[in-house]
Structure 1
Amino acid sequence: MYKINIGTVLLLVVGLMVWLFGCGSAIKELGLVFDNPAAAGRPSPSFSADIAPILTSQCAIAECHVVDGPHDIDLRTYDTLMKGGDDGAIVIVGDARESEIVEEIAEGKMPPEGPSLDAAQIQLIIDWINEGAKNN
């Protein structure tokens, strides 16, 4: 019969709690908000004017998120961004909290080398997604 080690269970529970509570800490530290940008008085971001320049300068660079890049995520165009990668969509239209791209950049996981995106850039991406991730 299989015995459950209480120490292992406790370690797993504590580890899970640290992971769950730690995920939101970067968002809080950066002062990111997930409200309606228009209601908060922030301008509506445009994909071509605001989002594409961030992605092409920070993410879609040599050997990163271009054709045949990591996880088959190509961030060079609106269509390839919205396609997602090997694991599916990275942008959940209207829901930045559930969008993998926000998690990756807010927690500083991406880009893995060089400077992380700043809070203003991340907020633009959050606002753009929450407003429908339009190709404008």
Structure 2
Amino acid sequence: MLFLKKFLIIGINCSLFAACNYHVNKAQLDNSAQSVQQINSFSTLKTNILDPQCIRCHGVGGKGGVDLSNYNSIMTNPGLVMINNINASRLYTEVESGSMPDGGPVMNSEDVATIAAWINAGAPDGTFANTNPVIPTPTPVPTPTPPPAQNPPPVVTPPNPPNVISYNDVQTKLFNVSCTRCHSGSKPSGSVDLSSYQKTMANSKKVVVPGNATKSIAYTEITSGSMPPRGPAVDPTLVKLLNDWINAGAKNN
């Protein structure tokens, strides 16, 4: 009988401990869920995203003239944040393309979506609705099928282009002059090597996206003014040369 009483007491104590542990775990889960939802103001966005991932390079007097240390310096930097327009905001396009953070891990999709939500909410110096929206790809408009032609149209041979855009021009006139002093060798800056066609195209980041200059880091870094970080800006004719070469397919010619 004494043994049975001890057994019942032990069983009751185990049940109580299990119940306590359930409440502790549930509280921890609730706190974890709350912390995910706390990035709903500029202050928490700065503390949780900008400070740990950007400020080491982009504080007061930061690289490329970009200072992310406070709201006013962000909003007064031309083109850095364009209210309600993420695709025109360098703060968004640089992290979305993987160009930034430079030399560090790529920013995760939740943080990128939070920056987008803040800009699309008007980039307030206060709270904003953050549901981490997925930016939808525009639905393609179907092309109507034309009626069959009575006679096949004549084949028109397009004239040869007056100037052939070549990779050799891009390498010798732009990359070698303005880029390879940092982006070449055994340890190129930001792991981006522009010393040859093969190394340029083999970069893990979207350095050159054939057919799409606006998604190519090599082009967006130059047009945003971030690159080259030191020295004169790239001549506009060479920027156009890079744009035309990428949009023409970025061929090795």
Residue 116, structure 1, aligned to residue 236, structure 2 = no
Q: TM-score scaled to structure 2, two decimals? A: 0.39
Match of 1:57 among 150, 174, 177: 177
Asked whether 1:74 is paired with 2:74, we answer no
TM-score when scaled to structure 1?
0.68
Stretches of structure 1 that go unaligned for 5 or more consecutive residues are: 24-37
1:116 Cα deviation after fit? 1.2
Work out the CA distance in 2 between the residues paired with 1:72 and 1:42.
36
Does 1:43 find its partner at 2:76? no
The count of residues paired between Structure 1 and Structure 2 equals 113
Q: In the alignment, residue 178 of structure 2 is paired with which amino acid? A: Q
Aligned to 1:91: 208
Aligned CA RMSD, in angstroms, stands at 3.2
Q: Deviations over 1:71-103 (max 9, x none)?
A: 211111011111124xx2310011111111111
Q: Are positions 1:8 and 2:41 aligned together? A: yes
Aligned residue number for residue 29 of structure 1? none
1:35 alignment counterpart = none
Q: Distance in 1 between matches of 2:191 and 2:243?
A: 22
* Distance (Å, rounded) in 1 between the aligned partners of 2:163 and 2:191: 32
Higher relative contact order (CA 8 A, sep 6+): 1
Q: Which has the larger radius of gyration?
A: 2
1:103 aligned residue:
220
The Cα shift of 1:42 comes to 7.3
8 Å Cα contact 1:92-1:129 kept in structure 2: yes
Deviates most, 76-85 or 125-134: 76-85
Distance 1:99 1:44 in 2: 21
Q: Is the 8 A contact 1:44 1:131 kept in 2?
A: no
Q: Deviations over 1:8-54 (max 9, x none)?
A: 26x97x9764473344xxxxxxxxxxxxxx9xx77331111x10111
Ranges in structure 2 where 5+ consecutive residues have no aligned partner: 1-29, 46-70, 76-80, 91-157
% identical equivalent positions: 31
Whether the 8 Å CA contact 2:206–2:215 is kept in 1: the answer is no
Distance 1:107 1:17, change over 3 A: closer
Other structure's SS at 1:90 match: coil
